[in-house]
Amino acid sequence: QLQLQESGPGLVKPSETLSLTCSVSGGSISSSSYYWGWIRQPPGKGLEFIGAISYSGNTFYNPSLKSRVTISVDTSKNQFSLRLSSVTDADTAVYYCARRAGSSWADFDYWGQGSLVTVSS
Amino acid sequence: DVVMTQSPLSLPVTLGQPASISCRSSQSLVYSNGNTYLYWFQQRPGQSPRRLIYKVSNRDSGVPDRFSGSGSGTDFTLRISRVEAEDVGVYYCMQGTHWPPTFGGGTKVEIK
């Protein structure tokens, strides 16, 4: 059974960079069939797609966040990572990593449990 | 971006009764290959989203058959034929036809 687990600091200061890692177990991240994505959910609010990456490093970012987002992959560790720069309190959210299957950018079939990141000084 | 509008915002339902959630998109979700990339996710309290329905009407493995999806173009519906206690949570539609993918605002299903 595929499992995804987010990890990283739960508190980030304004203007600094948020960094999270998603560890994948029960399957290989090095499959051409899948992409690996990040989605976030501010407290009490809805879901927002951040971006995704293929095992070979092709990245796809939501234009609304593109200037601040970097997603990378480390196939040797079966992990992928998110960096979001110049954070403000609007970036406070639960950040989920997820696997995109199929041929659609909405086709997220496995999700991590989520990691709450609070932006505060 | 394609705007996904869900209604109602909140849906109180009596156990055993049906429930229906509407999702409307600001543009047609029919892709050039003829597929319609409209998905439904369930988020139970304190949990991650879980995919229920893919490409409008296909139930995921393990999803009870009381859940069904329908619709076309810009108008879609998720139905629960008989609501059970475990169905409490927020339901989101999501489109993957247009870039970037976008979610509806969510519908909270609760027991009366």
pLDDT in tens, B44-103: 999 999 999 999 999 999 999 999 999 999 999 999 999 999 999 999 999 999 999 999
Check if the beta carbon of residue A2 is closer than 8 Å to that of residue A27. yes
Cross-chain residue pair B96–A106, CB shorter than 8 Å:
yes
Alpha carbon distance A52, A60 (integer Å) = 5
Question: DSSP letters of A88-114?
Answer: -GGG-EEEEEEEE-TTSTT-EEEE---
Alpha carbon distance A59, A52 (integer Å) = 6
Compute how many other C-beta atoms are within 10 angstroms of the C-beta atom of residue B73.
13
Q: Which residues of A touch B92 (CB under 8 A)?
A: 46-47
Q: Is the pLDDT of residue A98 over 90?
A: yes
Alpha carbon distance B109, B44 (integer Å) = 10
What pLDDT sits at residue B5?
98
What pLDDT sits at residue B15?
97
Return the residue of B nearest to A65 by Cα: B100
Residue B85 has phi, psi (to 5 degrees) of -60, -35
Check if the beta carbon of residue A26 is closer than 8 Å to that of residue A78. no
3-class state of residue B86 by DSSP: helix
Query: With bands split at pLDDT 50, 70 and 90, how would you rate the model's confidence at A103?
Result: confident
3-class state of residue B85 by DSSP: helix
Residue B87 has phi, psi (to 5 degrees) of -85, -5
Q: Is the pLDDT of residue A102 over 90?
A: no
Compute the nearest-CA separation of A105 from chain B (Å).
Answer: 5
Q: What is the mean pLDDT of residues A31-55?
A: 94
User: A with B: how many residue pairs have Cβ under 8 Å apart?
Assistant: 61
- Using one digit for the tens of pLDDT, what is the confidence trace for B15-55? 999 999 999 999 999 999 999 999 999 999 999 999 999 99
Alpha carbon distance B33, B88 (integer Å) = 35
